């Protein structure tokens, strides 16, 4: 049994990528990697067992460079997606209703049920318990300030979590009341 080296793992991964490009007919990517006709023929002759041998080698045949114009936007996208996932998890942990997650994230009932499976079973479902009138008025004022400052009724996940944090009203009740007020104001 051969031992994998970091150099061999890198070469193996890149050559497998090149073989996939070849299979997909992506000749542009092969040219970009400076893989010519002779190298293509050599790739076609490789067997799966050859990759185990490559992974054991302590040398590599690659010249790698980082394209910063692609790298940094990719990192920024990953950060945004990670933050979005964290917001989604927070909403789910705070018992966000299906309608909210469907509208904000495009959730299906199956996705919603799968995510909620990991939560305590005592979380409420159905209609949320509405807050006392004074607290509802505080929520309305906070919501009104938010939509007036932006000149839009469209809120995002952060907005709903902010309204929840400002007033202490459950996410379910925030969603229910804000949806009602938005429908009434939009008429």
63 within some domain: no
pLDDT at 56: 94
Within a domain: residue 92? Answer: yes
Beta carbons within 8 Å of 178's beta carbon, 6+ residues apart: 143, 155, 160, 163
Within-domain flag for 152:
yes
- Rounded to whole angstroms, the Cα distance separating 88 from 67 reads 31
Average pLDDT score, the chain:
91
Q: What is the pLDDT of residues 19-45, one digit of tens each?
A: 999 999 999 999 999 999 999 999 999
C-alpha 140/C-alpha 167 separation (Å) is 10
Range of the domain at 164: 74-187
Neighbours of 131 (CB within 10 A): 18
Instruction: Assess whether 113 and 142 both reside in one domain.
Output: yes
DSSP 64: -
| pLDDT tens digit sequence for 77-113 | 999 999 999 999 899 989 899 999 999 999 999 999 8
The pLDDT value recorded for residue 124 is: 57
- Whether residue 55 is predicted with pLDDT greater than 70 in this model: the reply is yes
Contact 53, 2 (CB under 8 A): yes
Instruction: Clarify whether residues 164 and 94 are in a common domain.
Output: yes
Q: Is residue 69 part of a domain?
A: no
In a domain, 83, yes or no: yes
Residue 140 has pLDDT above 70, yes or no: yes
Examine residue 183 and state whether it is found in any structural domain, yes or no: yes
* Buried b / exposed e along 96-125 (16+ C-beta atoms within 10 A): bbeebbeebbebeeeebeebbeeeeeeeee
How far is 101 from 157, CA to CA, in rounded Å?
Answer: 9
Q: Are residues 10 and 45 in the same domain?
A: yes
- The answer on 90 and 180 residing in a single domain is yes
* Total number of domains constituting the chain: 2
Both 130 and 160 in a single domain? yes
């Amino acid at each position: 049994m051969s031992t994998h080296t970091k150099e061999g793992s890198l070469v193996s991964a890149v050559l497998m990528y090149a073989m996939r490009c070849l299979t997909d007919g992506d000749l542009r990517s092969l040219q970009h990697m400076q893989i010519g006709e002779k190298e293509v023929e050599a790739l076609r002759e490789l067997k799966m067992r050859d990759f185990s041998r490559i992974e054991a080698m302590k040398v590599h045949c690659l010249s790698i460079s980082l394209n910063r114009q692609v790298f940094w936007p990719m990192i920024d996208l990953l950060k945004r997606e990670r933050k979005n996932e964290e917001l989604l998890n927070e909403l789910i942990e705070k018992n966000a209703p299906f309608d909210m997650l469907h509208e904000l994230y495009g959730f299906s009932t199956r996705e919603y049920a799968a995510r909620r499976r990991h939560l305590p079973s005592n979380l409420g479902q159905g209609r949320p318990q509405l807050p006392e009138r004074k607290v509802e008025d505080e929520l309305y004022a906070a919501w009104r300030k938010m939509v007036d400052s932006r000149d839009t009724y469209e809120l995002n996940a952060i907005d709903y979590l902010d309204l929840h944090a400002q007033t202490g009203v459950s996410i379910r009740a925030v969603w229910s009341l804000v949806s009602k007020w938005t429908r009434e104001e939009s008429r």
